[in-house]
Amino acid sequence: MTTVLVTGGAGYIGSHACKALKAAGFTPVTFDSLVTGWEEAVKFGPFEKGDLLDRARLDEVFAKHKPAAVMHFAALSQVGESMQLPGKYWRNNTAGSLNLIEAMLAAGCKQMVFSSTCATYGDQDNVVLDENSLQMPINSYGKSKRAIEEMLEDFAVSDGLESVIFRYFNVAGADEEAEVGEHHVPETHLVPLILDAIDGKRGKLTVFGDDYGTPDGTCIRDYVHVMDLVDAHVLGVGWLKDGKGSRVFNLGTGDGFSVREVMDVAAQVTGGEVPHDVGPRRAGDCTKLVSGSERAKTELGWTPERSTLERMIKDAWRWHKTGGYG
């Protein structure tokens, strides 16, 4: 069976990717520092604890497992925090990825599926963001990821490193069997915070600004079901295996929903109410991020069939009821 090294495999998206890889006949080896991940989430293949900044540990893991490809999820991903602690993002995300790339090349592994972000596009009002849109990130998280994309381009030229780069829009939902799901400490993401507010697990949700230039004044995002997202990653491994070469794909549905619309659907799906108040804008937030999503559909054959808000919230709610990890 082909081995894929999954950095961040103990995290939210990485753990779902391991499940999808195993189902597709691969052996997913998780490499994770457990700083934000959960050992309990490693259920679908071997686990190697380690930090991307530890080059010797990376070399050891490459020598032991000899992966054919890497899926690279390990990263810090909080927009707000990145504005306060940019060094943490440049070090962990960007310098960590440089270490990983150099370890891959030293081991002769030349294929990476990379988890990038729509935050690399920045705040481009009224533009549908496709893969050719300008990349003008407005927060350190987005900048740290854009820099990794640039590194991948350079190492493609110098060393023949091939990559499929996925620029995610907002990811939500959970595995339908609730074996794995979203659990961040602290939690900063909208859907789990709404669910916590509905069942009284924490106080009210604070809506970060309702004075944006959108119909109801709250920010608009394009939400993708995590299982659809990881299906695309498995297709990405196949794309590279088939020799199709480096390519960038957006992963979004092309439909945008405001914070208030997400709250309304969550109230309908759960039968609860979302206690909330409205606070100031969060630094680094873009008004609207909606994907031009044709390329992944036409070239990769990706269909985000589970990505309705109802389905994502229903699956997230089922996971929420398990109590999560820890």
Pick one of 182, 228, 285, 315: the residue that binds ligand UDP (CB under 6 A): 285
* E strand or H helix that includes residue 166: strand 162-168
Is position 208 an interface residue for ligand UDP (rule: CB under 6 A)?
yes
Is position 287 an interface residue for ligand UDP (rule: CB under 6 A)?
no
**Chain position carrying tokens 């195993």:** 22
Pick one of 94, 170, 250, 253: the residue that binds ligand UDP (CB under 6 A): 170
* Stretch of residues binding ligand UDP (CB under 6 A), selected from 130-138, 204-212, 239-247, 266-274: 204-212
Cα–Cα distance between 267 and 271 in angstroms, integer?
5
Is position 75 an interface residue for ligand UDP (rule: CB under 6 A)?
no
Site size toward ligand UDP, by CB under 6 A = 15
141 flagged as catalytic: yes
Cα–Cα distance between 165 and 181 in angstroms, integer?
23
Return the structure tokens found at 240.
Answer: 């590279």
Contacting residues for 270 by C-beta, under 8 A, at least 6 apart: 195, 198, 199, 313, 317
Catalytic member of 141, 168, 212, 223:
141
HSE-CB for 157 with a 13 A CA cutoff: 5
**Amino acid at site 18:** C
Q: What minimum distance in Å lies between the beta carbon of 285 and ligand UDP? A: 5
CB-closest chain residue to ligand UDP = 219
Angle formed at CA 39 by CA 36 and CA 43, multiple of 5 degrees? 125
Pick one of 75, 79, 229, 234: the residue that binds ligand UDP (CB under 6 A): 79
User: Closer CB to ligand UDP, residue 79 or residue 296?
Assistant: 79
Is position 259 an interface residue for ligand UDP (rule: CB under 6 A)?
yes
* E strand or H helix that includes residue 13: helix 12-23
- Looking at the annotation, which residues are catalytic? 141
Binding residues for ligand UDP (CB under 6 A): 79, 170, 188-190, 193, 205-208, 219, 221, 259, 282, 285
